[in-house]
Amino acid sequence: MRGLQNNPLDRLLQTMTTVRDTSLPPTASAIVEPAPLFPPIAPYRTGFLAVDDLHTLYWEECGNPDGEAVLFLHGGPGGGLSPRHRQFFDPSHYRIVLFDQRGAGQSTPHGEVRDNTTPLLVDDIEKLREMLGISRWLVFGGSWGSTLALAYGQAYPQRCTGFILRGIFLCTQAEIDWFMDGMGQFFPEAHADFRAGAAEAEGKEEGEGLLQAYARKLFGTDKPAALRAARSWSTYEGRCAFLRPNEEAVADLAADALSLSIGRLEAHYFVHAGFLEDGQLLANLDRIRHLPACIVQGRYDMICPPSVAYQLHRAWPGSRLVMVPDAGHSASEPGNSAALVGATEAWRKGRAF
């Protein structure tokens, strides 16, 4: 076991407390009976919002124009929107607001890392809220979207009614190290291919870590090499995101445009530690601890380990932790989807979880 000392799993676990707090409510495997997604819907309004001289964001509204506002924050960074994201919410009740973050989806410039930081994304959300004339909204985000939801809520708690968060990512250095290396303990084949992608062509420089090697390729002037690195990055993530392999989803992630935005933006944010102080989101939790929250977490999430969701839950006594027993990381897995719809329905029916 000597070779496992100081590995990413050890470092991640060392950041988590293991003492049981009996004052907290128990976790649950579901909020309500499993529910399917709502039927596909089209936006009733779309637009583009110029947030500075460089970036313009795509946004859309779906559902009930006079309904309760809910904000959807996609993952990545760089993941962008999917029509499926609209289907977590009852369209007869919710005014559903979705947007592509800087550099993602239909926002322009695509894959751009300049002027792309967490504080700027938080400011973008507030500009969008003001432009749409919304006073307060329920904030819904998964994976990186949970990071951004917490950062936004802590900056503007008075604008939030509550939170639905999935696949918790607090963007600590331990979690970044886990993504880059720790997941290889469970997906060794995928990680071997990921490492090979960093060594392709000109290879790694002496003393260079895996993240630095990818960043050099992704932000270099050799565009074909950058695209190959982006495909390798996004394919690695896709192969680790599901409890059961989903080759179709992995193929989608390897598409040129999506892989470039995911690879470039995730590497950019990882290199800069999410533009957050290590532990910042837990340290500032008192700003939103009074608000209700539902935390949905796949028991076998290898990208965002369940210990992180449990740590957030312990620090947020009023939160509800839904540990999905048969899911990994992806929101599209049946158990995660059912729990998320259950959360939006529980909020709709009682504005509580």
Rounded to an integer, what distance in angstroms lies between the CA atom of residue 340 and that of residue 163?
11
The token duo for 227 is: 């695209």
In this structure, the strands spanning 45-50 and 56-63 are antiparallel
Q: Which residues contact 118 (CB under 8 A, 6 or more apart)?
A: 147, 148, 151, 269, 274, 275, 276
Catalytic residue (choose from 100, 124, 143, 307): 143
Catalytic residue (choose from 85, 177, 329, 330): 329
Catalytic site includes residue 252: no
Catalytic residue (choose from 301, 307, 319, 337): 301
**CB 204, CB 213: distance < 8 Å:** yes
Catalytic site includes residue 143: yes
Rounded to an integer, what distance in angstroms lies between the CA atom of residue 271 and that of residue 109?
20
Catalytic site includes residue 234: no
Catalytic residues: 143, 301, 329
